[in-house]
Chains A and B, each alone.
Chain A
Protein backbone atom coordinates (compact mmCIF):
# COMPACT_ATOMS: atom_id res chain seq x y z
CA UNK A 1 0.00 0.00 0.00
CA UNK A 2 1.10 3.51 -0.75
CA UNK A 3 2.03 5.20 2.51
CA UNK A 4 0.00 8.35 2.01
CA UNK A 5 -1.57 9.11 5.41
CA UNK A 6 -0.08 9.97 8.75
CA UNK A 7 -1.22 11.01 12.19
CA UNK A 8 0.31 14.43 12.57
CA UNK A 9 -0.96 15.48 15.97
CA UNK A 10 -3.18 14.31 18.78
CA UNK A 11 -5.22 15.61 21.66
CA UNK A 12 -6.99 13.94 24.56
CA UNK A 13 -9.62 15.26 26.90
CA UNK A 14 -10.46 13.17 29.91
CA UNK A 15 -12.70 15.00 32.40
CA UNK A 16 -11.00 15.66 35.69
CA UNK A 17 -13.64 13.92 37.74
CA UNK A 18 -13.22 10.20 38.42
CA UNK A 19 -15.70 7.94 40.10
CA UNK A 20 -14.20 4.85 41.64
CA UNK A 21 -15.92 1.61 40.73
CA UNK A 22 -15.70 0.58 44.38
CA UNK A 23 -17.90 3.58 45.21
CA UNK A 24 -20.46 2.58 42.57
CA UNK A 25 -20.37 -0.96 43.96
CA UNK A 26 -20.87 0.25 47.51
CA UNK A 27 -23.79 2.48 46.55
CA UNK A 28 -25.47 -0.24 44.50
CA UNK A 29 -24.57 -3.27 46.62
CA UNK A 30 -28.22 -3.68 47.60
CA UNK A 31 -29.03 -4.47 43.97
CA UNK A 32 -26.90 -7.57 43.64
CA UNK A 33 -26.02 -10.80 45.29
CA UNK A 34 -23.43 -10.59 48.03
CA UNK A 35 -19.78 -10.76 47.07
CA UNK A 36 -20.30 -9.62 43.50
CA UNK A 37 -16.79 -8.89 42.27
CA UNK A 38 -16.09 -5.18 41.86
CA UNK A 39 -14.30 -4.16 38.68
CA UNK A 40 -11.04 -2.43 39.55
CA UNK A 41 -10.16 1.18 39.00
CA UNK A 42 -12.25 4.22 38.25
CA UNK A 43 -14.18 5.80 35.45
CA UNK A 44 -13.90 9.32 34.11
CA UNK A 45 -17.08 11.34 34.46
CA UNK A 46 -17.82 14.71 33.01
CA UNK A 47 -18.48 17.59 35.33
CA UNK A 48 -22.04 18.90 35.07
CA UNK A 49 -20.90 21.32 32.38
CA UNK A 50 -19.18 18.77 30.15
CA UNK A 51 -20.72 16.81 27.31
CA UNK A 52 -19.50 15.09 24.16
CA UNK A 53 -19.17 18.46 22.45
CA UNK A 54 -17.16 20.25 25.15
CA UNK A 55 -14.84 17.27 25.54
CA UNK A 56 -14.35 17.24 21.77
CA UNK A 57 -13.35 20.91 21.91
CA UNK A 58 -10.84 20.12 24.66
CA UNK A 59 -9.22 17.33 22.65
CA UNK A 60 -9.30 19.29 19.40
CA UNK A 61 -7.62 22.35 20.93
CA UNK A 62 -4.77 20.19 22.10
CA UNK A 63 -4.38 18.55 18.69
CA UNK A 64 -4.34 21.88 16.88
CA UNK A 65 -2.14 23.74 19.36
CA UNK A 66 0.45 25.75 17.44
CA UNK A 67 -1.13 24.95 14.05
CA UNK A 68 -3.36 27.97 13.52
CA UNK A 69 -1.49 28.81 10.33
CA UNK A 70 -2.41 25.50 8.69
CA UNK A 71 -5.99 24.64 9.65
CA UNK A 72 -7.40 21.27 8.55
CA UNK A 73 -9.74 21.34 5.58
CA UNK A 74 -12.19 18.98 7.26
CA UNK A 75 -13.36 18.51 10.82
CA UNK A 76 -15.12 15.24 11.63
CA UNK A 77 -16.96 15.09 14.95
CA UNK A 78 -17.79 11.50 15.87
CA UNK A 79 -20.10 10.58 18.71
CA UNK A 80 -23.19 8.61 19.62
CA UNK A 81 -24.10 11.20 22.25
CA UNK A 82 -24.27 14.40 20.25
CA UNK A 83 -26.03 17.17 22.15
CA UNK A 84 -28.08 18.09 19.08
CA UNK A 85 -29.89 15.79 16.68
CA UNK A 86 -30.26 18.62 14.20
CA UNK A 87 -27.64 21.32 14.52
CA UNK A 88 -24.14 21.18 13.11
CA UNK A 89 -22.31 20.20 16.28
CA UNK A 90 -19.12 19.81 14.24
CA UNK A 91 -19.65 23.33 12.99
CA UNK A 92 -19.88 24.59 16.55
CA UNK A 93 -16.70 22.71 17.44
CA UNK A 94 -15.02 24.31 14.41
CA UNK A 95 -16.25 27.72 15.54
CA UNK A 96 -14.77 27.28 19.02
CA UNK A 97 -11.45 26.52 17.35
CA UNK A 98 -11.77 29.66 15.22
CA UNK A 99 -11.41 27.52 12.09
CA UNK A 100 -12.44 29.18 8.83
CA UNK A 101 -16.15 28.98 8.03
CA UNK A 102 -15.13 27.20 4.84
CA UNK A 103 -14.00 24.16 6.87
CA UNK A 104 -15.92 21.06 5.81
CA UNK A 105 -17.67 19.71 8.88
CA UNK A 106 -18.95 16.18 9.34
CA UNK A 107 -21.14 14.81 12.10
CA UNK A 108 -20.64 11.07 12.40
CA UNK A 109 -22.59 8.78 14.66
CA UNK A 110 -24.87 5.82 14.53
CA UNK A 111 -22.29 3.31 15.74
CA UNK A 112 -19.29 3.10 18.03
CA UNK A 113 -17.30 2.64 14.84
CA UNK A 114 -17.98 6.27 13.93
CA UNK A 115 -14.52 7.34 15.09
CA UNK A 116 -12.52 4.74 13.21
CA UNK A 117 -14.78 5.10 10.17
CA UNK A 118 -13.97 8.80 10.01
CA UNK A 119 -10.32 7.97 10.56
CA UNK A 120 -10.31 5.63 7.57
CA UNK A 121 -12.05 8.30 5.53
CA UNK A 122 -9.47 10.86 6.60
CA UNK A 123 -6.66 8.49 5.55
CA UNK A 124 -8.20 8.11 2.12
CA UNK A 125 -8.34 11.89 1.73
CA UNK A 126 -4.95 12.57 3.29
CA UNK A 127 -3.16 12.94 -0.03
CA UNK A 128 -5.31 15.96 -0.78
CA UNK A 129 -6.15 17.51 2.56
CA UNK A 130 -5.82 17.24 6.32
CA UNK A 131 -8.72 16.14 8.50
CA UNK A 132 -9.18 16.59 12.20
CA UNK A 133 -10.99 13.51 13.47
CA UNK A 134 -12.51 13.99 16.90
CA UNK A 135 -14.32 11.21 18.70
CA UNK A 136 -16.09 11.88 21.96
CA UNK A 137 -18.75 10.18 24.01
CA UNK A 138 -20.61 10.58 27.24
CA UNK A 139 -22.91 7.57 27.44
CA UNK A 140 -25.53 7.21 30.11
CA UNK A 141 -26.01 3.98 31.98
CA UNK A 142 -28.71 2.74 34.32
CA UNK A 143 -27.90 2.84 37.99
CA UNK A 144 -26.17 -0.37 38.99
CA UNK A 145 -25.80 -1.68 35.44
CA UNK A 146 -22.68 -3.33 34.06
CA UNK A 147 -22.37 -0.34 31.75
CA UNK A 148 -22.32 2.06 34.68
CA UNK A 149 -19.13 0.38 35.86
CA UNK A 150 -17.65 0.03 32.40
CA UNK A 151 -18.31 3.33 30.66
CA UNK A 152 -16.19 6.44 30.94
CA UNK A 153 -16.37 9.92 29.40
CA UNK A 154 -13.52 11.06 27.17
CA UNK A 155 -12.57 12.50 23.81
CA UNK A 156 -9.64 12.03 21.48
CA UNK A 157 -8.61 14.01 18.43
CA UNK A 158 -6.26 12.92 15.67
CA UNK A 159 -5.03 15.21 12.95
CA UNK A 160 -4.62 13.13 9.81
CA UNK A 161 -2.62 14.45 6.89
CA UNK A 162 -0.13 13.62 4.23
CA UNK A 163 2.64 11.22 5.17
CA UNK A 164 6.17 12.48 5.07
CA UNK A 165 5.31 15.79 6.68
CA UNK A 166 6.86 17.07 9.85
CA UNK A 167 7.47 14.45 12.54
CA UNK A 168 4.21 12.48 12.54
CA UNK A 169 3.19 10.23 15.41
CA UNK A 170 2.42 7.38 13.05
CA UNK A 171 2.13 6.45 9.42
CA UNK A 172 -0.96 4.61 8.25
CA UNK A 173 0.07 1.52 6.31
CA UNK A 174 -3.34 0.02 5.57
CA UNK A 175 -7.02 0.28 6.41
CA UNK A 176 -9.83 -2.20 6.09
CA UNK A 177 -13.47 -2.49 7.16
CA UNK A 178 -16.07 -5.21 7.35
CA UNK A 179 -19.70 -4.53 8.14
CA UNK A 180 -21.91 -7.00 9.95
CA UNK A 181 -25.26 -6.44 11.64
CA UNK A 182 -24.07 -8.03 14.84
CA UNK A 183 -26.24 -6.45 17.54
CA UNK A 184 -24.12 -6.82 20.66
CA UNK A 185 -25.80 -3.71 22.06
CA UNK A 186 -28.02 -0.98 20.74
CA UNK A 187 -29.79 2.22 21.65
CA UNK A 188 -32.87 3.29 19.76
CA UNK A 189 -33.03 6.91 18.67
CA UNK A 190 -34.21 9.01 21.58
CA UNK A 191 -33.50 6.33 24.18
CA UNK A 192 -31.25 7.22 27.10
CA UNK A 193 -29.67 3.85 27.79
CA UNK A 194 -28.00 1.04 25.87
CA UNK A 195 -29.42 -2.45 25.80
CA UNK A 196 -26.59 -4.96 25.96
CA UNK A 197 -26.72 -8.62 24.94
CA UNK A 198 -24.94 -11.57 26.48
CA UNK A 199 -21.23 -10.97 26.82
CA UNK A 200 -20.25 -14.59 26.17
CA UNK A 201 -22.04 -14.57 22.81
CA UNK A 202 -20.42 -11.28 21.86
CA UNK A 203 -17.01 -12.61 22.82
CA UNK A 204 -17.30 -15.90 20.97
CA UNK A 205 -19.09 -14.75 17.81
CA UNK A 206 -17.75 -11.25 17.31
CA UNK A 207 -14.49 -10.66 19.13
CA UNK A 208 -13.09 -14.09 18.41
CA UNK A 209 -14.53 -14.57 14.90
CA UNK A 210 -15.37 -11.37 13.00
CA UNK A 211 -12.48 -9.40 14.47
CA UNK A 212 -9.69 -11.92 13.74
CA UNK A 213 -11.06 -12.38 10.23
CA UNK A 214 -10.97 -8.63 9.58
CA UNK A 215 -7.46 -8.29 11.00
CA UNK A 216 -6.36 -11.17 8.83
CA UNK A 217 -7.76 -9.49 5.72
CA UNK A 218 -6.05 -6.22 6.66
CA UNK A 219 -2.63 -7.79 7.04
CA UNK A 220 -2.90 -10.14 4.08
CA UNK A 221 -3.65 -7.26 1.74
CA UNK A 222 -0.31 -5.65 2.55
CA UNK A 223 1.55 -8.92 3.11
CA UNK A 224 2.43 -8.19 6.71
CA UNK A 225 3.28 -11.11 8.93
CA UNK A 226 1.00 -11.00 12.03
CA UNK A 227 3.97 -11.88 14.19
CA UNK A 228 5.61 -8.58 13.15
CA UNK A 229 2.80 -6.56 14.68
CA UNK A 230 3.99 -5.39 18.08
CA UNK A 231 0.85 -3.80 19.48
CA UNK A 232 -2.90 -4.22 19.36
CA UNK A 233 -5.14 -1.21 20.00
CA UNK A 234 -8.59 -2.55 20.83
CA UNK A 235 -11.43 -0.76 22.62
CA UNK A 236 -11.66 -3.62 25.10
CA UNK A 237 -10.22 -4.76 28.38
CA UNK A 238 -6.74 -6.28 28.39
CA UNK A 239 -8.02 -9.86 28.78
CA UNK A 240 -10.27 -9.73 25.73
CA UNK A 241 -7.67 -7.87 23.72
CA UNK A 242 -5.13 -10.59 24.49
CA UNK A 243 -7.55 -13.29 23.34
CA UNK A 244 -8.12 -11.41 20.09
CA UNK A 245 -4.40 -11.00 19.55
CA UNK A 246 -3.88 -14.67 20.18
CA UNK A 247 -6.65 -15.84 17.86
CA UNK A 248 -5.52 -13.33 15.20
CA UNK A 249 -1.96 -14.58 15.26
CA UNK A 250 -0.59 -11.34 16.71
CA UNK A 251 1.65 -13.40 18.92
CA UNK A 252 4.00 -10.52 19.80
CA UNK A 253 1.41 -7.79 20.27
CA UNK A 254 1.14 -5.91 23.54
CA UNK A 255 -2.23 -4.70 24.71
CA UNK A 256 -3.30 -1.75 26.82
CA UNK A 257 -3.83 -2.36 30.52
CA UNK A 258 -4.58 1.17 31.51
CA UNK A 259 -7.46 2.99 29.85
CA UNK A 260 -10.28 0.69 30.92
CA UNK A 261 -8.98 0.89 34.46
CA UNK A 262 -8.30 4.65 34.63
CA UNK A 263 -10.95 6.07 32.33
CA UNK A 264 -13.51 3.48 31.29
CA UNK A 265 -14.92 2.67 27.86
CA UNK A 266 -15.33 6.00 26.14
CA UNK A 267 -17.48 4.76 23.22
CA UNK A 268 -16.51 6.19 19.86
CA UNK A 269 -13.44 7.81 21.45
CA UNK A 270 -12.11 4.51 22.75
CA UNK A 271 -10.47 3.17 19.55
CA UNK A 272 -8.69 6.49 19.06
CA UNK A 273 -7.58 6.57 22.68
CA UNK A 274 -6.31 3.01 22.32
CA UNK A 275 -4.33 4.00 19.23
CA UNK A 276 -2.65 6.71 21.29
CA UNK A 277 -2.05 4.28 24.14
CA UNK A 278 -0.45 1.84 21.69
CA UNK A 279 1.71 4.61 20.22
CA UNK A 280 2.69 5.51 23.76
CA UNK A 281 4.01 1.95 24.19
CA UNK A 282 5.58 1.71 20.76
CA UNK A 283 9.14 2.40 19.71
CA UNK A 284 9.53 4.20 16.36
CA UNK A 285 9.25 1.76 13.50
CA UNK A 286 7.04 -0.72 15.35
CA UNK A 287 3.76 -1.70 13.77
CA UNK A 288 0.39 -1.79 15.46
CA UNK A 289 -3.10 -2.90 14.55
CA UNK A 290 -6.02 -0.81 15.69
CA UNK A 291 -9.64 -1.86 15.61
CA UNK A 292 -12.98 -0.18 16.03
CA UNK A 293 -16.07 -2.23 16.83
CA UNK A 294 -19.77 -1.72 16.23
CA UNK A 295 -21.85 -3.75 13.76
CA UNK A 296 -18.66 -4.82 12.13
CA UNK A 297 -15.03 -3.99 12.42
CA UNK A 298 -12.72 -1.23 11.25
CA UNK A 299 -9.06 -2.12 11.19
CA UNK A 300 -5.96 -0.03 10.63
CA UNK A 301 -2.31 -0.94 10.39
CA UNK A 302 0.00 1.81 11.62
CA UNK A 303 3.70 2.29 12.07
CA UNK A 304 4.92 4.34 15.00
CA UNK A 305 7.14 7.24 14.00
CA UNK A 306 9.50 9.56 15.81
CA UNK A 307 6.60 11.66 17.06
CA UNK A 308 4.98 8.76 18.91
CA UNK A 309 6.19 9.95 22.35
CA UNK A 310 3.81 12.89 21.92
CA UNK A 311 0.97 10.39 22.34
CA UNK A 312 2.50 9.23 25.60
CA UNK A 313 2.76 12.81 26.82
CA UNK A 314 -0.85 13.57 25.90
CA UNK A 315 -2.03 10.44 27.67
CA UNK A 316 -0.05 11.26 30.80
CA UNK A 317 -1.41 14.79 30.91
CA UNK A 318 -4.99 13.62 30.50
CA UNK A 319 -4.82 10.86 33.06
CA UNK A 320 -2.81 12.78 35.63
CA UNK A 321 -5.34 15.57 35.73
CA UNK A 322 -7.83 13.94 38.07
CA UNK A 323 -10.04 14.54 41.05
CA UNK A 324 -12.07 11.91 42.80
CA UNK A 325 -15.82 12.44 42.80
CA UNK A 326 -16.77 11.80 46.40
CA UNK A 327 -20.53 11.72 45.89
CA UNK A 328 -22.23 9.06 43.81
CA UNK A 329 -25.50 10.96 44.13
CA UNK A 330 -23.91 14.12 42.73
CA UNK A 331 -22.65 12.18 39.72
CA UNK A 332 -26.16 10.86 39.11
CA UNK A 333 -27.49 14.41 39.38
CA UNK A 334 -24.96 15.72 36.87
CA UNK A 335 -26.19 13.15 34.34
CA UNK A 336 -29.82 13.87 35.08
CA UNK A 337 -30.37 10.38 36.49
CA UNK A 338 -31.99 11.68 39.68
CA UNK A 339 -34.16 14.73 40.21
CA UNK A 340 -32.72 17.22 42.64
CA UNK A 341 -34.46 20.28 44.08
CA UNK A 342 -32.25 23.19 43.04
CA UNK A 343 -34.70 25.79 44.33
CA UNK A 344 -36.77 28.38 42.57
CA UNK A 345 -33.75 30.20 41.16
CA UNK A 346 -33.30 27.23 38.84
CA UNK A 347 -36.62 28.15 37.25
CA UNK A 348 -35.21 31.21 35.57
CA UNK A 349 -36.16 31.38 31.91
CA UNK A 350 -33.04 30.78 29.83
CA UNK A 351 -34.53 31.59 26.46
CA UNK A 352 -31.88 32.49 23.90
CA UNK A 353 -32.22 35.45 21.58
CA UNK A 354 -30.78 33.60 18.58
CA UNK A 355 -30.46 36.80 16.60
CA UNK A 356 -28.01 37.98 19.25
CA UNK A 357 -26.29 34.62 19.54
CA UNK A 358 -25.66 34.70 15.79
CA UNK A 359 -24.51 38.32 15.78
CA UNK A 360 -22.14 37.62 18.67
CA UNK A 361 -21.03 34.14 17.61
CA UNK A 362 -17.34 34.99 17.43
CA UNK A 363 -17.42 36.30 21.01
CA UNK A 364 -19.45 33.44 22.44
CA UNK A 365 -18.11 30.46 20.48
CA UNK A 366 -14.53 31.42 19.72
CA UNK A 367 -13.99 33.74 22.72
CA UNK A 368 -12.94 36.57 20.47
CA UNK A 369 -12.71 40.00 22.08
CA UNK A 370 -11.14 43.13 20.75
CA UNK A 371 -7.73 44.74 20.74
CA UNK A 372 -7.57 48.48 20.24
CA UNK A 373 -5.22 49.39 17.41
CA UNK A 374 -4.70 52.80 18.96
CA UNK A 375 -3.71 51.93 22.53
CA UNK A 376 -3.34 48.12 22.46
CA UNK A 377 -5.95 47.51 25.13
CA UNK A 378 -7.48 44.05 25.03
CA UNK A 379 -11.15 43.87 25.99
CA UNK A 380 -14.09 41.51 26.00
CA UNK A 381 -16.50 41.84 24.40
CA UNK A 382 -15.23 43.73 21.40
CA UNK A 383 -16.91 47.15 21.50
CA UNK A 384 -17.28 50.10 19.18
CA UNK A 385 -15.53 52.40 21.67
CA UNK A 386 -12.33 51.40 23.46
CA UNK A 387 -12.77 50.76 27.19
CA UNK A 388 -9.42 52.26 28.13
CA UNK A 389 -10.39 55.50 29.90
CA UNK A 390 -7.25 57.13 28.48
CA UNK A 391 -8.21 56.16 24.91
CA UNK A 392 -11.93 55.71 24.16
CA UNK A 393 -11.22 55.67 20.42
CA UNK A 394 -14.07 54.59 18.17
CA UNK A 395 -13.91 51.66 15.74
CA UNK A 396 -10.28 50.86 16.39
CA UNK A 397 -10.64 47.28 17.57
CA UNK A 398 -9.35 44.21 15.82
CA UNK A 399 -10.64 40.75 16.76
CA UNK A 400 -8.47 39.23 19.46
CA UNK A 401 -8.99 35.61 20.51
CA UNK A 402 -8.71 34.95 24.23
CA UNK A 403 -9.41 31.20 24.30
CA UNK A 404 -5.75 30.22 24.31
CA UNK A 405 -4.69 33.02 26.61
CA UNK A 406 -4.15 32.71 30.33
CA UNK A 407 -5.25 34.91 33.18
CA UNK A 408 -5.23 35.39 36.90
CA UNK A 409 -7.97 35.55 39.49
CA UNK A 410 -8.60 39.17 40.48
CA UNK A 411 -11.70 38.58 42.61
CA UNK A 412 -13.93 35.59 43.28
CA UNK A 413 -16.80 34.28 45.33
CA UNK A 414 -18.36 30.95 46.08
CA UNK A 415 -22.06 31.68 45.72
CA UNK A 416 -24.36 29.34 47.63
CA UNK A 417 -27.48 31.34 46.79
CA UNK A 418 -27.22 31.23 43.00
CA UNK A 419 -28.50 28.20 41.12
CA UNK A 420 -25.64 25.86 40.36
CA UNK A 421 -25.79 22.20 39.38
CA UNK A 422 -22.64 21.67 41.46
CA UNK A 423 -22.80 24.22 44.29
CA UNK A 424 -21.23 26.55 45.05
CA UNK A 425 -21.42 28.65 41.90
CA UNK A 426 -17.90 30.04 41.66
CA UNK A 427 -17.26 33.16 39.63
CA UNK A 428 -15.19 36.30 39.70
CA UNK A 429 -13.09 38.76 37.77
CA UNK A 430 -10.29 37.38 35.66
CA UNK A 431 -7.53 39.57 34.29
CA UNK A 432 -6.09 38.28 31.03
CA UNK A 433 -2.34 37.98 30.63
CA UNK A 434 -2.42 40.55 27.83
CA UNK A 435 -4.72 42.89 29.79
CA UNK A 436 -8.47 43.16 29.86
CA UNK A 437 -10.87 41.93 32.48
CA UNK A 438 -13.91 39.68 32.44
CA UNK A 439 -16.38 38.61 35.10
CA UNK A 440 -16.62 34.91 34.44
CA UNK A 441 -17.45 31.51 35.84
CA UNK A 442 -14.82 29.13 37.20
CA UNK A 443 -15.15 25.43 36.59
CA UNK A 444 -13.54 22.33 38.05
CA UNK A 445 -12.87 24.10 41.34
CA UNK A 446 -14.26 22.98 44.65
CA UNK A 447 -15.11 25.12 47.64
CA UNK A 448 -12.03 26.46 49.39
CA UNK A 449 -9.61 25.91 46.52
CA UNK A 450 -9.55 29.23 44.70
CA UNK A 451 -7.47 32.22 45.78
CA UNK A 452 -6.91 35.71 44.44
CA UNK A 453 -3.90 35.65 42.16
CA UNK A 454 -4.33 32.05 41.00
CA UNK A 455 -3.35 31.50 37.36
CA UNK A 456 -6.16 30.24 35.10
CA UNK A 457 -6.72 29.00 31.58
CA UNK A 458 -9.96 28.72 29.66
CA UNK A 459 -12.20 25.82 28.66
CA UNK A 460 -15.35 25.67 26.58
CA UNK A 461 -18.18 24.37 28.74
CA UNK A 462 -21.94 24.19 29.05
CA UNK A 463 -23.18 27.52 30.39
CA UNK A 464 -26.79 26.67 31.01
CA UNK A 465 -29.75 24.88 29.56
CA UNK A 466 -33.13 26.16 28.46
CA UNK A 467 -35.30 23.32 29.67
CA UNK A 468 -38.51 24.88 28.40
CA UNK A 469 -37.28 24.83 24.80
CA UNK A 470 -34.56 22.22 24.95
CA UNK A 471 -31.52 24.31 24.09
CA UNK A 472 -28.07 24.03 25.55
CA UNK A 473 -25.79 27.05 25.70
CA UNK A 474 -22.03 27.06 25.92
CA UNK A 475 -19.40 29.57 26.87
CA UNK A 476 -15.83 29.73 28.07
CA UNK A 477 -14.95 29.29 31.73
CA UNK A 478 -11.80 29.80 33.70
CA UNK A 479 -10.12 26.88 35.37
CA UNK A 480 -7.07 26.72 37.58
CA UNK A 481 -3.87 25.89 35.78
Chain B
Protein backbone atom coordinates (compact mmCIF):
# COMPACT_ATOMS: atom_id res chain seq x y z
CA UNK B 1 0.00 0.00 0.00
CA UNK B 2 1.13 3.56 -0.71
CA UNK B 3 2.90 4.94 2.37
CA UNK B 4 0.70 8.02 2.16
CA UNK B 5 -2.38 5.86 2.70
CA UNK B 6 -0.69 4.01 5.57
CA UNK B 7 -0.01 7.31 7.30
CA UNK B 8 -3.52 8.66 6.68
CA UNK B 9 -5.07 5.43 7.96
CA UNK B 10 -3.07 5.91 11.13
CA UNK B 11 -3.89 9.59 11.51
CA UNK B 12 -6.25 11.20 9.04
CA UNK B 13 -5.62 14.60 10.64
CA UNK B 14 -1.91 14.61 9.74
CA UNK B 15 -1.22 17.88 7.91
CA UNK B 16 -0.07 17.83 4.27
CA UNK B 17 3.04 19.76 5.44
CA UNK B 18 4.07 17.01 7.85
CA UNK B 19 3.18 14.25 5.39
CA UNK B 20 5.39 15.98 2.83
CA UNK B 21 8.31 16.13 5.29
CA UNK B 22 7.94 12.45 6.19
CA UNK B 23 7.63 11.20 2.63
CA UNK B 24 10.14 13.57 0.99
CA UNK B 25 7.40 14.98 -1.26
CA UNK B 26 6.25 18.52 -1.93
CA UNK B 27 3.12 19.74 -0.15
CA UNK B 28 1.40 20.18 -3.51
CA UNK B 29 2.18 16.58 -4.45
CA UNK B 30 0.68 15.33 -1.19
CA UNK B 31 -2.48 17.39 -1.68
CA UNK B 32 -2.82 16.21 -5.27
CA UNK B 33 -2.42 12.56 -4.37
CA UNK B 34 -4.98 12.77 -1.57
CA UNK B 35 -7.40 14.44 -3.97
CA UNK B 36 -6.80 11.66 -6.49
CA UNK B 37 -7.49 8.97 -3.90
CA UNK B 38 -10.68 10.75 -2.87
CA UNK B 39 -11.76 11.19 -6.46
CA UNK B 40 -11.09 7.52 -7.29
CA UNK B 41 -13.12 6.46 -4.23
CA UNK B 42 -10.09 4.79 -2.65
CA UNK B 43 -10.34 7.12 0.32
CA UNK B 44 -14.03 6.84 1.18
CA UNK B 45 -14.16 9.00 4.28
CA UNK B 46 -12.44 10.14 7.46
CA UNK B 47 -13.68 9.10 10.89
CA UNK B 48 -12.60 9.44 14.51
CA UNK B 49 -11.93 6.26 16.51
CA UNK B 50 -14.16 6.81 19.56
CA UNK B 51 -14.14 4.77 22.75
CA UNK B 52 -17.89 4.69 23.23
CA UNK B 53 -17.53 2.86 26.54
CA UNK B 54 -16.35 6.14 28.01
CA UNK B 55 -19.47 7.94 26.87
CA UNK B 56 -22.81 7.56 28.57
CA UNK B 57 -24.48 6.37 25.40
CA UNK B 58 -27.71 4.50 25.09
CA UNK B 59 -26.49 2.30 22.28
CA UNK B 60 -25.81 -1.35 21.81
CA UNK B 61 -23.69 -3.10 19.22
CA UNK B 62 -24.34 -6.61 17.99
CA UNK B 63 -22.43 -9.04 15.83
CA UNK B 64 -24.88 -11.05 13.75
CA UNK B 65 -24.00 -14.22 11.90
CA UNK B 66 -26.25 -14.88 8.94
CA UNK B 67 -26.71 -18.04 6.89
CA UNK B 68 -27.89 -17.35 3.39
CA UNK B 69 -29.06 -19.30 0.36
CA UNK B 70 -27.20 -17.76 -2.55
CA UNK B 71 -29.26 -16.54 -5.48
CA UNK B 72 -28.87 -18.26 -8.81
CA UNK B 73 -27.99 -14.88 -10.30
CA UNK B 74 -25.66 -12.64 -8.24
CA UNK B 75 -24.68 -15.18 -5.57
CA UNK B 76 -24.44 -13.61 -2.12
CA UNK B 77 -24.28 -10.09 -3.50
CA UNK B 78 -28.02 -9.72 -3.92
CA UNK B 79 -28.79 -10.49 -0.27
CA UNK B 80 -25.74 -8.60 0.99
CA UNK B 81 -26.67 -5.55 -0.99
CA UNK B 82 -30.17 -5.50 0.52
CA UNK B 83 -28.85 -5.99 4.05
CA UNK B 84 -26.18 -3.31 3.69
CA UNK B 85 -28.77 -0.61 3.01
CA UNK B 86 -30.24 -0.75 6.54
CA UNK B 87 -28.87 2.13 8.64
CA UNK B 88 -28.52 -0.26 11.61
CA UNK B 89 -25.77 -2.10 9.70
CA UNK B 90 -22.37 -0.55 10.35
CA UNK B 91 -20.22 -3.19 8.66
CA UNK B 92 -20.99 -6.22 6.57
CA UNK B 93 -18.64 -8.96 5.42
CA UNK B 94 -18.94 -12.15 3.41
CA UNK B 95 -16.97 -14.78 5.31
CA UNK B 96 -15.92 -18.40 4.99
CA UNK B 97 -16.94 -21.01 7.56
CA UNK B 98 -20.13 -22.09 9.31
CA UNK B 99 -22.10 -19.03 8.21
CA UNK B 100 -21.94 -16.62 5.28
CA UNK B 101 -22.46 -13.00 6.24
CA UNK B 102 -21.12 -11.20 9.30
CA UNK B 103 -22.90 -8.02 10.34
CA UNK B 104 -21.89 -5.37 12.86
CA UNK B 105 -25.10 -3.57 13.75
CA UNK B 106 -26.00 -0.89 16.28
CA UNK B 107 -29.25 0.18 17.87
CA UNK B 108 -30.56 2.24 20.80
CA UNK B 109 -31.11 -0.84 22.94
CA UNK B 110 -31.44 -4.61 22.88
CA UNK B 111 -35.04 -4.36 21.80
CA UNK B 112 -34.29 -2.24 18.77
CA UNK B 113 -31.58 -4.63 17.55
CA UNK B 114 -33.82 -7.63 18.27
CA UNK B 115 -36.59 -6.06 16.22
CA UNK B 116 -34.17 -5.34 13.39
CA UNK B 117 -33.18 -9.01 13.34
CA UNK B 118 -36.64 -10.48 13.63
CA UNK B 119 -38.62 -8.05 11.49
CA UNK B 120 -36.17 -6.86 8.87
CA UNK B 121 -33.21 -9.18 8.58
CA UNK B 122 -34.80 -12.63 8.91
CA UNK B 123 -37.56 -11.80 6.49
CA UNK B 124 -35.26 -11.04 3.59
CA UNK B 125 -35.55 -13.67 0.89
CA UNK B 126 -32.54 -15.97 1.03
CA UNK B 127 -31.78 -15.49 4.74
CA UNK B 128 -31.92 -18.96 6.28
CA UNK B 129 -30.96 -18.27 9.89
CA UNK B 130 -29.32 -15.70 12.16
CA UNK B 131 -27.36 -15.78 15.39
CA UNK B 132 -26.96 -12.53 17.34
CA UNK B 133 -24.18 -11.70 19.83
CA UNK B 134 -24.29 -8.48 21.85
CA UNK B 135 -21.08 -6.57 22.50
CA UNK B 136 -20.17 -6.36 26.18
CA UNK B 137 -16.87 -4.46 26.06
CA UNK B 138 -14.44 -3.18 23.42
CA UNK B 139 -10.75 -3.94 23.91
CA UNK B 140 -9.46 -2.87 20.53
CA UNK B 141 -11.09 -1.22 17.54
CA UNK B 142 -9.68 -0.06 14.20
CA UNK B 143 -6.26 -1.20 15.39
CA UNK B 144 -6.42 1.07 18.44
CA UNK B 145 -6.32 -0.27 22.01
CA UNK B 146 -9.19 1.22 23.98
CA UNK B 147 -7.48 1.28 27.35
CA UNK B 148 -4.24 3.11 28.01
CA UNK B 149 -1.52 0.54 28.48
CA UNK B 150 1.09 0.96 31.17
CA UNK B 151 4.44 1.03 29.47
CA UNK B 152 7.71 1.12 31.31
CA UNK B 153 9.26 4.54 31.15
CA UNK B 154 12.53 4.90 29.28
CA UNK B 155 15.45 6.83 30.72
CA UNK B 156 15.13 10.45 29.60
CA UNK B 157 18.69 10.50 28.28
CA UNK B 158 20.67 7.44 27.24
CA UNK B 159 23.84 7.00 25.19
A and B: bona fide binding partners: no
Q: Which residues of B are at the interface with A, using a C-beta cutoff of 8 A? A: none
Q: Which residues of A are at the interface with B, using a C-beta cutoff of 8 A? A: none
